[in-house]
């Protein structure tokens, strides 16, 4: 399957289930603010709560927002923040510089992210000219934000982003999408 075909299938899958008022309310509690531009939940905990959401490339008021896959789970945010603080980004950047296969996979993750965002933008009738070529997390040349890379892995599945996959493997003892550790209630 090509990157374009994969992006079309992923976008169709998430857009087939738009965010509900309950989803938005839960994410608002997770973030402590209203989730502007949220169109769908891209990944859910086994209990059903959102882990990562899909956000429009153009927020209300015309604000550009390249981070289409946005991590919202407080448990995931906390776990990934721990390994960022431990210096994991430097380790991953060093590995990118040394490993051609990893670099190739990371470049493909960037292409997939751009193609996925393009599908979302097209469906929402949003312009992408303001963020053309920009994906998230430092892709395709460096690791800048593990939160964004983990969100891509959660939304698109393992294999979509090799750095997101590695980060998820490291934090499994603290955050695992197949084990509910949600602290935010799910009631409206």
For the segment 13-46, what is each residue's pLDDT rounded down to a tens digit? 999 999 999 999 999 999 999 999 999 999 999 9
What percentage of the chain reaches a pLDDT higher than 90? Answer: 92
Range of the domain at 69: 3-171
Tokens of 73: 């789970």
User: Is the confidence at residue 188, as pLDDT, over 50?
Assistant: no
Query: Residue 110 domain-assigned?
Result: yes
User: Is the confidence at residue 77, as pLDDT, over 60?
Assistant: yes
Collapsed DSSP state (helix, strand, coil) of residue 179: strand
Average pLDDT, the chain: 95
What pLDDT is attached to residue 117? 97
Of 185, 172, 171, the closest CA to residue 81 belongs to 171
Query: Residue 176 domain-assigned?
Result: no
Residues β-bridged to residue 63: 59
Query: Residue 31 domain-assigned?
Result: yes
DSSP letter, residue 131: G
Number of structural domains the chain divides into: 1
Residues 160-179, mean pLDDT to the nearest whole number: 97
What percentage of the chain reaches a pLDDT higher than 70? Answer: 97
Q: How far is CA 116 from CA 72, 86, 170, in A?
A: 19, 31, 26
> Is the C-alpha dihedral spanning 45, 49, 52, 53 positive or negative?
positive
Using only C-alpha atoms, the chain has a radius of gyration, in whole angstroms, of 16
Longest Cα separation, the chain: 49
Collapsed DSSP state (helix, strand, coil) of residue 50: strand
Confidence of residue 133 (pLDDT cuts 50, 70, 90): very high
DSSP letter, residue 71: E
Query: Residue 180 domain-assigned?
Result: no
Query: Residue 135 domain-assigned?
Result: yes
pLDDT in tens, 144-157: 999 999 999 999 99
Query: Residue 182 domain-assigned?
Result: no
pLDDT in tens, 109-128: 999 999 999 999 999 999 99
What pLDDT is attached to residue 85? 96
> Is the C-alpha dihedral spanning 63, 68, 72, 78 positive or negative?
negative
Q: How far is CA 101 from CA 58, 145, 179, in A?
A: 33, 21, 31
User: Is the confidence at residue 78, as pLDDT, over 90?
Assistant: yes
What pLDDT is attached to residue 131? 92
Query: Residue 90 domain-assigned?
Result: yes
What pLDDT is attached to residue 183? 80
Query: Residue 185 domain-assigned?
Result: no
Cβ neighbours for 182, distance < 8 A, ≥ 6 positions apart:
45, 47, 49, 73, 75
What is the distance between the alpha carbons of residues 26 and 168, in angstroms, rounded to a whole number?
23
Tokens of 64: 């550009």
């Amino acid at each position: 399957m090509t990157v374009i075909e994969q992006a079309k299938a992923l976008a169709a899958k998430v857009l087939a289930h738009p965010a509900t008022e309950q989803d938005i309310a839960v994410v608002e509690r997770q973030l402590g603010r209203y989730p502007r531009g949220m169109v769908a939940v891209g990944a859910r905990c086994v209990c059903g709560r959102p882990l990562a959401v899909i956000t429009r490339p153009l927020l209300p008021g015309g604000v550009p927002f390249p981070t289409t896959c946005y991590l919202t789970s407080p448990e995931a945010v906390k776990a990934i923040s721990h390994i960022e603080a431990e210096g994991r980004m430097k380790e991953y950047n060093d590995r990118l510089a040394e490993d051609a296969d990893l670099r190739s996979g990371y470049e493909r993750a960037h292409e997939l992210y751009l193609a996925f965002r393009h599908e979302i933008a097209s469906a929402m009738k949003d312009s992408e000219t303001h963020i053309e070529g920009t994906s998230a997390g430092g892709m395709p040349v460096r690791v800048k934000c593990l939160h964004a890379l983990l969100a891509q892995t959660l939304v698109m599945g393992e294999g979509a982003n090799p750095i997101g996959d590695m980060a998820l493997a490291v934090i499994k003892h603290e955050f695992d999408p197949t084990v509910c550790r949600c602290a935010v209630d799910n009631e409206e």
